[in-house]
């Protein structure tokens, strides 16, 4: 995943760590976090609670319906 060629305004990430080992998964999440801090909006779909914990807002869905929405402060 090479996304540092430029700084996009929006990244759509569908299971960005799904097929990666834990080391490379951490690298991808770190890269997405840094891009977000630089102003890029990240929309991520994941089944991973760990990856979801990086988000500032989590929207949980079931059968196409929003069942829980959670906003939190920015991670340190």
What's the pLDDT at 4?
55
Q: Taking 90 as the threshold, does the pLDDT of residue 10 lie above it?
A: yes
Tens of pLDDT, residue by residue over 21-69, are: 999 999 999 999 999 999 999 999 999 999 999 999 999 999 999 898 8
What's the pLDDT at 59?
93
The two tokens of residue 43 are: 């929309």
Q: Taking 90 as the threshold, does the pLDDT of residue 15 lie above it?
A: yes
User: What string of DSSP letters covers 3-51?
Assistant: --SS--SEEEEESTTTTS-HHHHHHHHHHHHHHHHTT-EEEEE-S-HHH
The two tokens of residue 54 are: 């990086």
- What's the predicted TM-score (pTM) here? 0.79
DSSP structure class, residue 27: H
């Amino acid at each position: 995943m090479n996304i540092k060629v430029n700084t996009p305004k929006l990244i759509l990430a569908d299971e960005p760590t799904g097929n990666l080992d834990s080391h490379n998964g951490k690298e991808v999440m770190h890269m997405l976090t840094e891009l977000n801090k630089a102003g890029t909006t990240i929309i991520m779909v994941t089944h991973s609670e760990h990856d979801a914990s990086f988000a500032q807002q989590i929207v949980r869905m079931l059968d196409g319906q929003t069942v829980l929405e959670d906003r939190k402060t920015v991670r340190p």
